[in-house]
Structure 1
């Protein structure tokens, strides 16, 4: 029985998978809280720029590392190879825990838009359905992601067009006070909408010619996402203004109403649900591959390292991840899940940048900027998210120490 995954993804499919992870429910839900934290339209756009800069640093670190180490697991593998087994383990722990919470948040977003009265039930059903899709093979996942990305981009384009057509407010109109802390917190919240480009890197073992494909696909996917987010943010600001945007739990549907396009509202709601499904599909895919890598090295149960003989996917890891996400989606609150996820993912990318530092002097300036940015955004998040995230990271360290004390040897 082969233990290797099938290399089937080219540049286009890798870009689409990255876009599917980024252009998802984050843009439908993050603008309001980010605008409130930023305090003004100017602050929101500054925060978007900060989030994009940190995301770019992280993307380039991930791309270079993935080309050097084209195996499933992302920063779990890079940290282990570049910094030592502990840092690889900690990156994998932060990724699996943080992205499991993110999976739950996306599932709950689907439920909130499809059937608000039964959001948790719908969320669990979405997790089960998409776990089954991933079980069938990564090419089927890439095909479905391609369809979802096209639909979501069409919905976002419609919102942009009607908002610019009816908007009378300058996107730079004054609002509340702009502070460095507010801009950083807004950037941390907006980072949730960007955190998907490294999904390409976690699929390194399934990409054709990874040394060429990954460094090309990651920046392309990030650049497209940034352009889309900037257009959406500016257009919504022109029709709602910063104060109304900050108060809106569903800014894109509110923008459509304010623009006099009431018939577009249900289309936007469907688009949000489809976007969340696209993100959930890619998230489950990425978490299961990191779980596979950690199981191969004995940090998670080795039974999770099995690869299906027919579909050549880590089927047990996918089923385990799906089960955990379903439980969280049945019990958790979406806002708490988003904050917790952001902290864990920023820890993960901090380790990615520290790993990229070891690649040579020419990589160090961007790696240092990325590492500093991850730290600043993580600790600028709401206090509850910082405390919960720090507690879970500490629990991972304790688990590592217990495992070492029982005589487990690092790979």
Structure 2
């Protein structure tokens, strides 16, 4: 009977399969593209509390956390190449409840990141077309890129690689254009939470800026959700991850330093388009360089927006396939073989967030800042659970096939785990209202989890995770 049951499961799985079409370069494009919008906006909100110099220290700490995390996370991704990513690892290590916590946290991260990016796309377009309402432009971006993701992952990944390369090129152009006006004194003036000298109060600002330093690298782990669609995940994913995190660290440092040294950085610390505004200091408002940056700058935002739609859809798809969400969300389009219902469902939530000023704009922060913070809460909780899963699986399944092993184990995953716990504690302290909303999301989801055990028992994904 057990064999018969498993055969039935495998039969069901064929209706929930994704096509294996992605190569190493495409995965690198997804890894960098998922994150690269973080170089264009979001991070500068950290200057408002930490100052430029304080934020450098925060960013270095977060870069170290992400570097050690990615080297450790890659072991999980290559050992368990599953579209659920962190959900699959935690479920494997801690059972259904662990899978729920990791899956719900990842869902919050990937569903709330796109509306923040869409709002930034709207802000960039508003620079060119002042009569265009940013929120309407953001909704338009959702409709266009949901459609592109539905058409096919091969087309979507090729597009992602192209726009990612253009986005990197544009960041290099930005640094080159503002370099003639580079003055280190601009960057250091008031660099410690608005003061010229370091004080104990500077620590307060540095810790408060953690969510915006995380925004530099948020969502790189989304490559894990494309693992089932990779041609050779055990080889290509490690290369994509390592090359991706190194690319992003270099770009983050360059963009932050050149923007801050271009002029009065305080004018860039609470806006969605810091790079065009930084360029105004050097070339003026009507320069051709300025207009080029606005247009090409959209490529960076589009790369992340498009990539994270791919990420959230695979997470919704995997959770639904495993019975953690309604089963109909796991249906694959009969022609394009993409999780079209999951793509649309995440888009509906994102568009609702864009138009929910009264609900999301609280605690003295802007709508974008609160959405960013909510997304970061999901990410940090997922990072903690993922590192705990790595330690658990090393202990309970020492003979598991591990094509890539975390270097300097246990130092790297331990540092990533401790750093993530520090980030979570400080974020709760500085963003208590957002933390409460995040906790309510998890609690409501857990009630649904408890009420739908029968869905998981009948889910076709069980066969995948048991292999």
Normalised TM-score (structure 2): 0.81
How far did residue 229 of structure 1 move? 1.1
CA contact (8 A) 2:374 2:438 kept: no
CA distance in 1, matches of 2:219, 2:449: 31
Aligned length: 409
Equivalent in the alignment of 1:148: 163
**Per-residue displacement from partner, 1:113-166 (whole Å, max 9, x unpaired)?**
213641111111110110000001111111111221122222211221122222
CA distance in structure 2 between the aligned counterparts of 1:382 and 1:166, rounded to whole angstroms:
39
Shift of 1:399: 3.4
Distance in 2, Cα, partners of 1:393 & 1:44: 27
Give the one of 132, 135, 146 matched to 1:131.
146
The Cα of 1:380 is off from its aligned counterpart by: 2.5
Unaligned stretches of 5+ residues in structure 2:
1-13, 358-366, 396-407, 463-467
Decide which of 57, 63, 68 is 1:57's aligned counterpart.
Answer: 68
Residues 318, 407 of structure 1: alpha-carbon distance in 2 compared, 3 angstrom cutoff? closer
How far residue 401 of structure 1 moved from its aligned partner, in angstroms, is 4.2
Q: Which structure 2 residues correspond to residues 309-320 of structure 1 after superposition, within 5 A?
A: 309-320=334-345
Determine the structure 1 residue equivalent to 2:9: none
Question: In the aligned structure 2, how far is the partner of 1:15 from the partner of 1:323?
Answer: 28
CA drift at 1:372 = 1.8
Distance change (3 Å), C-alpha of 1:403 and 1:162: closer
The equivalent position to 1:391 in structure 2, one of 437, 441, 451, is 437
| Alignment partner of 1:33 is 2:49 | no
Larger Rg: 2
Q: Which residue of 1 is the match for residue 237 of structure 2? A: 214
| Pair 1:79-2:90 in alignment | yes
Q: What is aligned with 1:48?
A: 59
- After superposition, residues 100-139 of structure 1 pair within 5 angstroms as 100-115=111-126, 117-139=132-154
Where does 1:242-391 land on structure 2 (aligned, <5 Å)?
Answer: 242-246=265-269, 250-260=273-283, 262=285, 263=287, 264-332=289-357, 333-360=367-394, 363-381=409-427, 385-391=431-437
| SS at 1:9 equivalent | coil
Bigger mean CA offset, 84-93 vs 175-184: 175-184
Q: Is the 8 A contact 1:91 1:351 kept in 2?
A: yes
Cα distance in 2 between the residues matched to 1:406 and 1:252: 47
Match status 1:21 vs 2:39: no
Aligned partners of 1:98 and 1:342 also within 8 Å: yes
State the SS of the aligned residue for 2:324.
coil
Cα separation, partners in 2 of 1:174 and 1:135, compared to 1, 3 Å = same
The farther-off stretch of 296-305 and 355-364 is: 355-364
Aligned to 2:206: 183
After TM superposition, what 4+ stretches of structure 1 lie above 6 angstroms from structure 2? none
Asked whether the equivalents of residues 32 and 250 of structure 1 are also in contact (C-alpha less than 8 Å), the reply is no
Other structure's SS at 2:133 match = helix
Q: Verify the 8 A CA contact 1:14 1:200 in the aligned structure 2.
A: yes
SS of match in other structure, 2:337 = coil
Question: How large is the Cα RMSD of the aligned pairs?
Answer: 2.3
**CA contact 1:166–1:259 (8 Å) conserved in 2:** yes
Cα distance in structure 1, aligned partners of 2:192 and 2:377: 26
Match of 1:199 among 195, 208, 222: 222
Unaligned runs of 5+ in 1: none
